[in-house]
Amino acid sequence: MARTNQIQAIALCLGTLGALAGCQGNRSELPPVHLINQMDFQQRFDAQEVNEFFQTVDCAKAHNPNQCEGRAARLPLAGTVAVGQLHDDDELYRGRGPDGRLLDRLPAAIKLSTELMARGEERYNIYCQPCHDYTGGGQGVATQRGGGFSVAPKNLNDPQIRAMPLGHFFDVITNGKGTMMPYAAQIPAQDRWAISVWVRTLQVARTPEEAK
């Protein structure tokens, strides 16, 4: 009799222990426990990590944001240029010719090809499609929800926009326009040109009678 009670008690204990410990894959808000983790965190920083040393200065007194915002990654100071980042090719990086006007062709550094157009289509569908939709109509998914956009995206097939030079699209992506924010930080210059080409392609595809 006592024996069965004991066994029951032990089984009960093991059962609760198991229930408390849970199963593999259970959700938890507690960080993973690594028994031996002396080398998990070493004297170096990952990207986007916090460095407490740079939080000791009060931001109001700091000479530049690098000193107080606690980023392990050091931001380049205003007015400095890293090697290879001068971007002095005005055609490629600003979309403007020697006369300072927006280009209506691709910059010399980029060649039109089917790869460029495929790249443009892919990148357009990543970065522009949420708002401007797949055809450029301006009915993207993001504009249809949560009360809708306070300013609707422009219809890229609008005659007014169709009349714009190719460089205009590059310029809008790079610097933004009106309520549309700049995308220069998200998209490298080469891809911005590829997207511009795709925007033009969409416009032409939309209006076969006007296409040349």
- The residues of the shown chain that bind another protein, judged by CB under 8 A, are 21, 23-35, 37, 39-42, 44, 46-48, 65, 69-71, 122, 125-127, 130-131, 141-143, 145-151, 179, 181, 183, 185-188
Using DSSP's 3-state secondary structure scheme, residue 20 falls into helix
The residue number with the shortest CB distance to ligand HEC is 178
d(CA 12, CA 8): 6
Nearer to another protein, 159 or 188 (CB): 188
- Min dist. Cβ of residue 132 to another protein (A): 12
User: Which option in another protein, ligand HEC, none does residue 156 bind, with CB closer than 5 to 8 A by kind?
Assistant: ligand HEC
- For 165, other C-beta atoms within 10 Å of its C-beta total 17
End-to-end Cα separation, the chain, in angstroms: 97
- Min dist. Cβ of residue 77 to ligand HEC (A): 25
d(CA 39, CA 36): 8
What backbone phi and psi angles, to 5 degrees, belong to 20? -65, -40
Nearer to ligand HEC, 72 or 180 (CB): 180
Query: Half-sphere exposure (CA, 13 Å, Cβ side) for 179?
Result: 7
Nearer to ligand HEC, 18 or 130 (CB): 130
- Min dist. Cβ of residue 120 to ligand HEC (A): 10
What are the structure tokens assigned to 178, written together? 């009106």
Are 119 and 127 in contact by the 8 Å Cβ rule? The answer is no
- Min dist. Cβ of residue 122 to another protein (A): 7
Are 187 and 176 in contact by the 8 Å Cβ rule? The answer is no
User: Which option in ligand HEC, another protein, none does residue 69 bind, with CB closer than 5 to 8 A by kind?
Assistant: another protein
Nearer to ligand HEC, 30 or 151 (CB): 151
